[in-house]
Structure 1
Amino acid sequence: MKSKTTGVLSALLAVVTATGTSACAAGKTETAGSAGGCDTSKGTLVVGVIAPMSGKLSAIGLGIRNSVQLAVDQANAACAVKGYQLAMDAQDDEANPDKGAAAAQRFADDPNVVGVVGSYNSGVARAIQPKIAAAKLLLISPGNTDPVLSRGADFATAPKRQYGNYFRVVGTDDLQGPFNARYMVQKEGKKKLAIITDGKAVGESSATEFAKEAERLGAQIVIREKVNENDSDFSSVLTKVKTLNPEAIFVGSEYHVAGPLSKQARDLGLNVPVSGTDGLFDPQFIALGGKDGDVATSVGAPIDKLDSGKAFVDAYKKKGFSDGYGGFGAFAFDAANVIVASAGKVTASGGWNGGLEQRAELIKQVQEYRTDSGANGTIGFDQYGDSVNKMFTVYKVTSGAWKDVLSDQFEAK
């Protein structure tokens, strides 16, 4: 029978623990404090987190970590997993595939870990997946967008699920890239486009999908160049791009590259909008040089346009975290609540021993999970483990802040 969990998240959202929880250090396991009178006699179960909590992407990773902590706190206050106390163990992968894989292996070897929220980076996920497949450790990503992770290298023509224990709560590049292109070409009227990527797989993938759709719509890709994600001076590439007079620049990277690149383009007299996908959608993009008129598409609807999203934001703020929830905190919150609700079902008839059979049952529960009241609206998974929520939003920098200008479900054409 298909599991219906529409009431679980709203129940969890309604209860926030009175005791504050400080942001945990990477590698430290934190419980929610008092279990509020719940029966925790069977012990502690762990929700793992793998995310970049230091380095250039820390604004995203810290928001992911804190949002999972919020979900764990709420679950404990609601006695969501009967007989157990929940704890979070957050591991900093530094956006490094080797470190992410090592953290995942440690979680896989720990029978008390019921599931992992992570990773953010698709490149890290590629290293993690084969490490934990045999252990059947549940992995739900709040940020991976590379379609290869779920449907394989031939995702467009011969999709095949890669790992049964892998899920994600965000849309993929083969949807978001074209969504971005449709906005830039059809709404902004940009017909001559430049592309700059950082060479990473996810940046290349999003740029390729953007280019295919832009050309289908009659636009021209006048140049495609690469920079290094660790570069700080983009003048040589931008000087080359400027000679071709593009009307916009699509950047296949994240805010730490795209923000400075936008500023340097303007300083060179190339005052055209920079556009990109969800890796740009963070306040840090603007802080690092993003200008009015720049565009980012991101997964889901604007968080403040959904009642469940507003509830998440309010609860997050009440916790007093020193870091914002960022562009992916709400997705991490949803992913954690999927793990909690599914673990509650598995443990209801006999507890948890962490064996392969129970982990397989947990995966089955996640596959059947469905709710329309997640912080980002609908949460559910298709036969590949991809999100069934195909909503995307266009944001534009307006008066020095991101403003949503268009939200819609993606439809292939």
Structure 2
Amino acid sequence: MQFKTKMIPLAGAIAFAFAGTASAQEQVVKIGHVGPISGAIAHLGKDNENGARMAVDELNAKGVTLGGKKVKFELLAEDDGGDPKQGTAAAQKLVDAKVNGVVGHLNSGTTIPASKIYHDAGIPQISPSSTNPKYTQQGFNTAFRVVANDSQLGGTLGRYAADQMKAKKVAVIDDRTAYGQGVAEEFVKGAKAKGVQVVAQQYTTDKATDFNAILTAIKAKKPDTIFFGGTDAVAGPMLRQMKALGINAKFMGGDGICTGSLPQLAGDAMADGQVVCAEAGGVEEAQKKGMDDFRAAYKKKFGSDVQIYSPYTYDAVMVLAEAMKKANSADPAKYLPQLAKIKYRGVIGMIEFDAKGDMKNGTLTLYTYNGGKRTQIAVVK
């Protein structure tokens, strides 16, 4: 009995020694994710986080080796509450934790201030859902996105108005916000490039409720289409006043008006098919099966449906991992050049970045409204 009692701790010591050797051969690669896990759009933040977690779990199940060592990916998830100050605090926390890369943030308003912190630390950042062009116009070689930006969205809508809606004369209104003005300017460029005549350009604010003066001026120009750069809260009342003035023009806008709430805000002023709007993202027919498979796997894992951008966070993590594999290193300085020139076919389609870090050929989903419900028209580039 004495002999056996001595052997038990010895066996334990041997097992511990082997475990220590194994862990020494394993390297931990930390992927940060930041999104609003609290607040009004917490459901969207959690959806994004889930997509990142799904990717990390799959990478660990498959097994990845870098520099001769097996990798264990870890997700460090932070909540920015959709608030810029909280977002920069979360970014600094991830930098202090020495993450190897970041997927986030969800909102442009938190992504942009956080991006300087990641850049100063040399940490690559891929936003899955921030569309403000300013994010990639700061000259940061660490900033990337896997979704079309507002400039691409406005330009595509301008071309679509000409090619598919056969618009000849358009009037443009924007709410003078960075978003509204930017998307309207890009719409004008896209439309003019296709020979469409811009007969009027008017301005309002994001809090205005009376549009009779600008709409009366527009009516005199007889446009077949009106483009509005702004949000649904302004677009709804504007549609009401258009109807009251007898303006039957088509009404277009970006993701700011492309909501499920627009029909309620517009009351009975929207005719079926009158409104055409677009959101960043969406898959073309060739990618549909992959997206359906992702949605099914997501629901099985989390017990809920995909909201919007979880496939984009999933792909963003996979893109970071692919760049690391190509560099054979998780060191940001070593894999960043590979990330900049990556070509990766993900759930959302082919992912490549331009010199600024914007998605090449980013897709958009076009919608209209019939019977008070939003209906998909097409996925375009």
Q: Please state which band the TM-score falls in when normalised by the shorter chain.
A: 0.7 to 0.9
Q: Aligned AA for 1:127? A: P
CA contact (8 A) 2:236 2:262 kept: no
CA contact (8 A) 1:194 1:241 kept: no
CA contact (8 A) 1:176 1:277 kept: yes
1:46 maps to 30
Distance in structure 1 (CA, Å) of the matches to 2:175 and 2:303 = 33
CA contact (8 A) 2:104 2:125 kept: yes
2:15 maps to none
Going from structure 1 to structure 2, the CA distance change for 1:397 and 1:60 (only over 3 Å counts) comes to: farther
Going from structure 1 to structure 2, the CA distance change for 1:178 and 1:49 (only over 3 Å counts) comes to: same
1:130 maps to 116
Residues 178-257 of structure 1: pairs in structure 2 closer than 5 A: 178-190=155-167, 191-197=169-175, 199=177, 201-216=178-193, 217-220=195-198, 222-228=200-206, 231=207, 234-236=208-210, 238-243=211-216, 244-245=218-219, 247-253=224-230, 257=231
1:386 alignment partner, SS class: coil
Q: Given the alignment, which residue of 134, 140, 146 partners 1:163?
A: 140
Report the alpha carbon displacement of residue 135 of structure 1 after superposing the two structures with TM. 0.7
2:13 maps to none
Tell me whether 1:366 sits opposite 2:339 in the alignment.
yes
More displaced 10-residue stretch of structure 1: 62-71 or 281-290: 281-290
1:275 maps to 252
Residues 372-387 of structure 1: pairs in structure 2 closer than 5 A: 372=345, 374-387=346-359
- Superposition CA RMSD, Å: 3.3
CA contact (8 A) 2:235 2:257 kept: no
Q: Given the alignment, which residue of 63, 77, 90 partners 1:103?
A: 90
Q: Given the alignment, which residue of 283, 297, 312 partners 1:302?
A: 283
Report the alpha carbon displacement of residue 221 of structure 1 after superposing the two structures with TM. 5.2
Q: Aligned AA for 1:91? A: D
Q: Given the alignment, which residue of 125, 128, 142 partners 1:142?
A: 128
Distance in structure 1 (CA, Å) of the matches to 2:227 and 2:199 = 10
Equivalenced residue count is: 340
Q: Aligned AA for 1:362? A: Y
Q: Given the alignment, which residue of 78, 92, 100 partners 1:90?
A: 78
More helix by share: 2
Distance in structure 2 (CA, Å) of the matches to 1:288 and 1:297 = 18
Distance in structure 2 (CA, Å) of the matches to 1:69 and 1:275 = 36
1:75 maps to 59
Distance in structure 2 (CA, Å) of the matches to 1:195 and 1:55 = 31
Report the alpha carbon displacement of residue 139 of structure 1 after superposing the two structures with TM. 0.4
TM-score of the superposition, structure 1-length normalised?
0.70
Structure index of larger Rg = 2
Going from structure 1 to structure 2, the CA distance change for 1:120 and 1:284 (only over 3 Å counts) comes to: farther
Residues 303-382 of structure 1: pairs in structure 2 closer than 5 A: 306=287, 307-322=289-304, 324-326=306-308, 328-343=309-324, 358-372=331-345, 374-382=346-354
Going from structure 1 to structure 2, the CA distance change for 1:85 and 1:385 (only over 3 Å counts) comes to: closer
Unaligned runs of 5+ residues in structure 1 are 1-38, 153-161, 353-357
Distance in structure 1 (CA, Å) of the matches to 2:347 and 2:60 = 18
Structure with higher RCO (Cα < 8 A, 6+ apart): 1
Report the alpha carbon displacement of residue 268 of structure 1 after superposing the two structures with TM. 3.3
Report the alpha carbon displacement of residue 177 of structure 1 after superposing the two structures with TM. 1.2
CA contact (8 A) 1:266 1:272 kept: no
Unaligned runs of 5+ residues in structure 2 are 1-21
1:268 alignment partner, SS class: helix
Going from structure 1 to structure 2, the CA distance change for 1:310 and 1:147 (only over 3 Å counts) comes to: same
2:154 maps to 177
Distance in structure 1 (CA, Å) of the matches to 2:349 and 2:101 = 22
Cα deviation digits, residues 218-248 of structure 1 (max 9, x gap): 33252432433xx4xx422x33343233654
Alignment identity in percent? 27
Distance in structure 1 (CA, Å) of the matches to 2:132 and 2:235 = 24
